[in-house]
Amino acid sequence: MKYTEKGICCTGFKAAGIKEEKNGLALISSEKEASCAVMITSNRVKAAPLVVSSRHAKKGRTRGVVISSGNANAYTGRQGIKDAEAMCTMASEELGLKKEDFLVASTGIIGRKMDMQLIERQIKEAAKRLSSKKEGSQNAAKAIMTTDTFPKSVSVKTQLKNGVEIEIGGIAKGAGMIAPNLKHATMLCFLTTDAYIPDSRIKKCLETAVDMSFNSTIIDGDMSTNDMAVLMASGTAGNRDIDSKFQHALNHVATELAKMLARDAEGATKFIEVEVKNAKTGSDAKKAARAVAGSSLVKSAIYGNDPNWGRIIAALGYSGADINPDIITLLLQNTKDSVCLIEQGRVRAYQDSWELKAAEKILDADEIKITIDLHTGTKNAHVFGCDLTPEYVRINSEYTS
């Protein structure tokens, strides 16, 4: 597997993006009908674009996606649905297609009416700028940003077991309001591939990749109304089926994008990875990891370089996972050093211990890993997150002003 610079502009796809202050618009287009799978937020309040995209995706085919930033088009009633449909109509008319051929997504402030004149102008301009070069993908990634500080894009090439080379690319956005629970952050992700994926397998491919990436990312514990992930496959690579090497590459692209989201979280200064090992069940491992990564007390302690491991233990206790406190092992690591704070229930990091002093130095890094061995089974889980800072509060206290 090797990295490329094409982003979502894999063979068979074009993209474009326009950014005007807080308002952006991106267009992703497939040169021919592509198979697709869509996953949306499990929040009971679903933004209008998600409702429309779910309808249009039922046939399992699409010709592209139109995405707006600056306005979430959420909690906007019937008019919001009409506006989301209108975005699909505008995009399709520019490219000589049908409204149902397009999916739609939006991100931004909830409860505001869409400026459809602005949207129409931006769609017309984006359609003119569609490009199969890396610049098309880069501009699309920039256009969907809100409080993000940098565009998120990853693409790789790999060979299937039969020797056919395929490419997978993706862009994503999201810096706050991220604790996705996508089924069948604001997090938006668009994945493309030139591989052929059988209709019976494409949804499972996306679900698998999302579960170990975006569903394993916690920024602030708030689940957006607009979370959405899309996988589109043009089939131009010429393969007749996919294998584990495809899934591995798709998982990798999604995971790298998820890590970028965590690193670029609103106000974040540190990237956190929580690994839970040897849990009784996969569910227990995920519950434990999510509780630790999502704990405001843990996140605050890491921001302040405070090795208060008791907060981690407390989070494990309320996580809902089946744990035995008397046999837990807890390690703290950065890219260079590691220290064991608790060894199978025996505390090593007491006050004034060298372990506690070592932990404080480890926390001074900008990438922190918390490893927890529950010693109750064989199941593992990873969750990505970040610290909690005063800057996060400032950004979100001024979001609509």
Helix (H, G, I), strand (E, B) or coil at 396: helix
> Which amino acid type is present at position 353?
S
Contact 313, 326 (CB under 8 A): no
Encode 328-346 in three state secondary structure: CEEEEECCCCEEEEEECCE
Contact 144, 170 (CB under 8 A): no
CA distances to 145, 149, 199, 365, 366 from 335, in Å: 29, 24, 41, 8, 9
> Which amino acid type is present at position 61?
R
CB atoms near residue 3 (< 10 Å): 12
Contact 74, 111 (CB under 8 A): yes
Token pair belonging to 61: 């085919």
Annotated catalytic residue, options 186, 192, 217, 255: 186
Token pair belonging to 66: 């139109």
Give the angle 242-248-250 at the CA atoms, nearest 5°. Answer: 80
SS3 content of the chain, % helix, strand, coil (to 5): 35, 30, 35
**Does residue 335 have an active-site annotation?**
no
Q: Which positions ≥6 away from 2 have C-beta within 8 Å? A: 156, 157, 158
In terms of DSSP bridges, do strands 165-173 and 152-159 run parallel, antiparallel, or are they unpaired? antiparallel
Question: What's the rounded Cα separation, in Å, for the pair 10 and 89?
Answer: 25
Nearest Cα to Cα of residue 261 among 107, 62, 121: 107
**Quick one: residue 73, left, alpha or beta (phi over 0 = left, psi -120 to 50 = alpha)?**
left
Question: What's the rounded Cα separation, in Å, for the pair 259 and 293?
Answer: 13
Contact 180, 161 (CB under 8 A): no
Active site residues per annotation = 186
